[in-house]
Amino acid sequence: MENYKESKFWFTSLIGFFYQVGIGCNLNKEMALDFYLITINNNKIENDHSLNVNFNQLHLIENNDDSFNLLRNYNIIIGKYLLSLFYYKDNILDVKENKLTNLLKLTENNNLEKQYNSIICCQNRNMKANYRKIFQLLLRLTEKGNLDAQYNLAICYMDGIGIQEDGKKALELFLKSDLIDCLDVQNKNEIETSLKYAILNNSIAQNNLGHFYQHGEGVCKNEMKAFKWYLKSAENGQPLGQNNLGDCYKYGNGTIKDETKAFEWNG
């Protein structure tokens, strides 16, 4: 692997995989991502314009006597496949200390959603520089009436992602994003009280919100939001939140099913 530069564009996809699972080296997901991106960003290879090939024009089986071109094409195909699996398994999001783990991906209805999702998925060592951009994109989407973006914007204000923490603004946006003003007085007061304490990092209130979203009590049922609140509660040491988070991983509620993480949280 130390001599990977000599192979030029032939084996970068495999080197990325070695870093991803720790074959012959220390496991390093950031390096894995770097090599996968080198593989698919083939137009950046110096002095080799032949690498600017449309992926749809590449074939695994072809009559091609040029060994270099054949290896290059294999590398591109394998690299795109491995990168897709890398994203699908949320390997990039598997960073416990990362603030962005509480943000939800958005439905891609327009270019702004695509930009936002791209930032969430493609985070790397320089991700902190993108916090402000994420906030600005969410603000623009909120102004266009996207309720999921509004919910994420509330998280930004709550956790200080790209903006100074502002609990009052976070509460206002949380209430609007789930149309809580439409609820009866009793349910509205209960949800609003839980949100106020959850924003202040009260682990019991965070777990309660997870329960409300999981079962659709006072809010629209949303397992992804339930998972995010259980996650915050669990990381703040709440036993009920930890058990509920473990169940989410066990049954795949609001997240990808993961027996290992389920065992870690449920004990």
Q: How far apart are the first and last CA of the chain?
A: 39
| Predicted confidence band of residue 113 (pLDDT cuts 50, 70, 90) | confident
- Residue 29: pLDDT over 90: no
Domain residue ranges of the chain, discontinuous segments joined by +:
4-88, 99-177, 201-267
pLDDT tens digit string along 42-85? 544 444 444 444 444 444 444 545 666 777 787 788 877 777 77
Calpha distance 76→82 (Å, rounded) = 10
- Listed residue (196, 136, 132, 145) closest to 169, CA to CA: 196
Identity of the highest mean pLDDT range in 80-84, 95-99, 250-254: 250-254
Place of tokens 């509480």: 102
Give the pLDDT confidence score for residue 122 in this predicted structure. 54
**165 in Cβ contact with 159 (< 8 Å):** yes
The superfamily in CATH containing domain 201-267 is: Tetratricopeptide repeat domain (1.25.40.10)
Calpha distance 78→138 (Å, rounded) = 34
- Listed residue (97, 120, 119) closest to 231, CA to CA: 97
Calpha distance 152→170 (Å, rounded) = 10
237: tokens are 């040491």
221 Cβ contact partners less than 8 Å away, ≥ 6 residues apart: 213, 214, 215
**44 in Cβ contact with 76 (< 8 Å):** no
143 Cβ contact partners less than 8 Å away, ≥ 6 residues apart: none
pTM of the model as a whole: 0.59
Q: Would you mind telling me the total number of residues written for the chain in this entry?
A: 267
pLDDT tens digit string along 193-249? 999 999 999 999 999 999 999 998 888 889 999 999 999 999 999 999 999 999 999
Residue 189 CB-half CA count within 13 A: 3
